[in-house]
Structure 1
Amino acid sequence: MDDDVIRNCLTTGVLSLSALVLSACITQPRSGPPPAPFDAVVPGFDPDIRYVGFNPDYVQINEDVLARLKKSNDGSLDFLALSGGGAGGSFGAGLLVGLTELEDRPQFEVVTGVSTGALIAPFAFLGSEWDDELQDAFAGETASELLKTEGIGIFYRPSFFKPEPLRNLVDQYVTDELVSAVATEAEKGRVLLVATTNLDRQLTTYWNMGEIALKRDARARELFRDILVASASVPGVFPPVMLDVEANGETYQEMHVDGSATVPFFLGPELMSLWSDPIGILDNANLYIIMNGPMKSPSSMTKVNTIEIVSKAFDTMLIFGGRSAIGEYAALSAQHNMNFSVAFIPPDLAFGGSLDFDQNERERLFQFARTCARQDLIWFEKERLADALLNSSVNSEDLDLHFGIPENCPTQPAGEDDRDRGVAMAADRLLGTDTKKPAE
């Protein structure tokens, strides 16, 4: 019998059994969530380290801070939003390194990140001096071990894969030096925000990572790390992160998961509060959005197994959530006379999906984005994007987002089996059958 058929049979059988056991047995003890969504605070930190949902009490902008941002260093106001996308984060990482080599990388005054974008965000915020760490994190060997399980462990964990590899990856790069560097930039008025999803409240939580870093102690590093892990913890793939909070003198726990569950990317409640822009601070500002995934995907048969369904559903959510959000921010940029640029994995590029953590594939994706950025071929400008969106139907395949594969970019065109590669890797890791590298 063909190896792929055997693997699919094993996947379906084991995951079906796993689902039964998980649904019947797993109820891990935990403290309850706080009674009100906006009153809880993280012990030892000021309440303003986070914004819950779009609570207007937390949406406060200091015009002096924004004016200071506009005058910082290069004299422009630059926003960067980084989306989720799992293994697609190698694209965003390579893009930033390529901009450094092009000598056209802005100092972003506001950087935001969701999921894998949250893991990129501190490096993007700190600038080109951290490019070596950025490349190592997203194109190096460590991330290849993210999809790890321990046989029978699946029967009592709230996820398919172990939390330790993701936590260890984050812990390796979120050093005291990095947190201190973020604090130094925050003191200048720059802003670093990361989103998680509060699963108890089903709300987005926006964390001001610079305010956290300013505490400059071990607890700051621990919370900084926990938030990044939570933002990248895809429900079902990785376990949630439990955060201790206090409200009305009592201690509670909040369950936080991948920020992509509620937002594909964001510019933060701060920018939303400036919709009317009474002081014109956004005039001629630059808005950059990096989508760590494609904006469309060809039709393909979905296999009847849990990993395939979860993976494809997640990727579909990212695609359509991202397209909707891009439309909103395109309108925002037009309203405030902002320059608007988007980058995404082109539809004609071979990409194995958000679970394809094979190092060779991540390195290839990293080098593709790096080369394209270095050649100044990476951005999809506002006018062209708006035209593509306006001239497409609801059918993803009608959306003309083709900009080709730039000459000399180290890649190969997409093939029919590329989407299955990441799913096959995840299934092999889950079943302990990772003895054969998925077909190229």
Structure 2
Amino acid sequence: QVFTQMDASDIMRLRPFQAVFSDALYDTTPLAELIAEFTPPAFLQAVAKRHAAGNNLLVVTSELDSARASVWDMGAIAQAGQYDLFRSIMRASAALPGLFPPVNLSFTSGGQTYSETHIDGGVHMQFLAVPSFAFTTPDQRLEGGHIYVIINNTLNPAPASVGRSALSISQQALTTTGRASALLQVNATQLFAREFGLRFSVTSIDPNAGIQYDPSDRFSSTYMNALYRHGTMRAQSGSLWTNT
């Protein structure tokens, strides 16, 4: 429903006169309201139940002042009943620098209360796939595991004309940076999987699918619906994943 029936106005509002002096070009109050609507207590209780069963839901954000990535255990947060924190983390994880405002996160850890400002985790990593213990126990094999990576981007894009406005150029720069980072991380994760005996599958947007993308209108309903149909068609045809 969010992907196919909503557009930019359901997510953000432009700040045309305040942007130069504020922390972002857009106001994402509509996004906060949307997140709250789709994460009612029943949904968060279901997340907590899955967490108790041993499943992990992890979300990455970037903390501005320390310039470090933070990995949030969303199941544990839901289990603790910290629903507002859960929703704020979701909003922060979508806070594209300069476009969407940073989000203040207040939480308690180790008996201490913290207040930090966070933005999109893509600043540090496009996805989280490698378990942290693997770096401290490199001799431990992980046979039987399978890493699936979904990239909401084209990894090898076809050339396209970019508008010469400041917004179009900045949006295209963000998209290009994200794509380059994702490609490097895909290659690194593939090497990791090969080294540790894991299967690896990745999927991304086919650059030849004919889906027109305007970085300055990334939430266009026309684009989002075309993208949804593209993903559905590839899944149904069995051509979704590239496996190694």
Q: Normalization by structure 2: what TM-score?
A: 0.89
Task: Summarize the Cα distance change of 1:291–1:175 in structure 2 as closer, same or farther, 3 Å threshold.
Answer: same
> Quick one: higher RCO (CA 8 Å, sep 6+), 1 or 2?
1
2-structure distance, mates of 1:340, 1:249: 39
2-structure distance, mates of 1:330, 1:180: 34
State the partner residue of 1:323: 183
Structure 2 counterpart of 1:357, one-letter code: F
Contact 2:15 2:25 in 1 (8 A): no
Contact 2:13 2:30 in 1 (8 A): yes
Of residues 42, 45, 51, the one that matches 1:180 is 45
Contact 1:159 1:237 in 2 (8 A): yes
Greater fraction of residues in helix = 1
Q: Deviations over 1:310-345 (max 9, x none)?
A: 111111111111111111111111112211110000
Contact 1:294 1:347 in 2 (8 A): yes
Deviation of 1:277 after TM superposition, in Å, equals 5.0
Task: Summarize the Cα distance change of 1:337–1:209 in structure 2 as closer, same or farther, 3 Å threshold.
Answer: same
Task: Summarize the Cα distance change of 1:199–1:150 in structure 2 as closer, same or farther, 3 Å threshold.
Answer: closer
Q: Where do 1:91-170 residues align within 5 Å?
A: 136-141=1-6, 144-170=9-35
Deviates more, 1:331-340 or 1:197-206: 331-340
2-structure distance, mates of 1:344, 1:271: 27
Matched, 1:362 2:196: no
What do you get for the CA RMSD once the two structures are aligned? 2.3
2-structure distance, mates of 1:374, 1:239: 38
Equivalent pairs counted in the alignment come to 242
Deviates more, 1:227-236 or 1:239-248: 239-248
Task: Name structure 1 gaps, 5 residues minimum.
Answer: 1-135, 383-440
Percentage of identical aligned residues: 25
Of residues 243, 256, 260, the one that matches 2:118 is 256
Deviation of 1:306 after TM superposition, in Å, equals 2.0
2-structure distance, mates of 1:221, 1:246: 14
State the partner residue of 1:352: 213
SS at match of 2:225: helix
Matched, 1:227 2:89: yes
Q: Deviations over 1:64-123 (max 9, x none)?
A: xxxxxxxxxxxxxxxxxxxxxxxxxxxxxxxxxxxxxxxxxxxxxxxxxxxxxxxxxxxx
Contact 2:58 2:71 in 1 (8 A): yes
SS at match of 1:236: coil
State the partner residue of 2:153: 293
Task: Name structure 2 gaps, 5 residues minimum.
Answer: none
Structure 1 counterpart of 2:34, one-letter code: L
Q: Deviations over 1:268-294 (max 9, x none)?
A: 54354475253x4x2021110000010
1-structure distance, mates of 2:110, 2:241: 48
Task: Summarize the Cα distance change of 1:185–1:251 in structure 2 as closer, same or farther, 3 Å threshold.
Answer: closer
Task: Summarize the Cα distance change of 1:342–1:273 in structure 2 as closer, same or farther, 3 Å threshold.
Answer: same
Greater fraction of residues in strand = 2
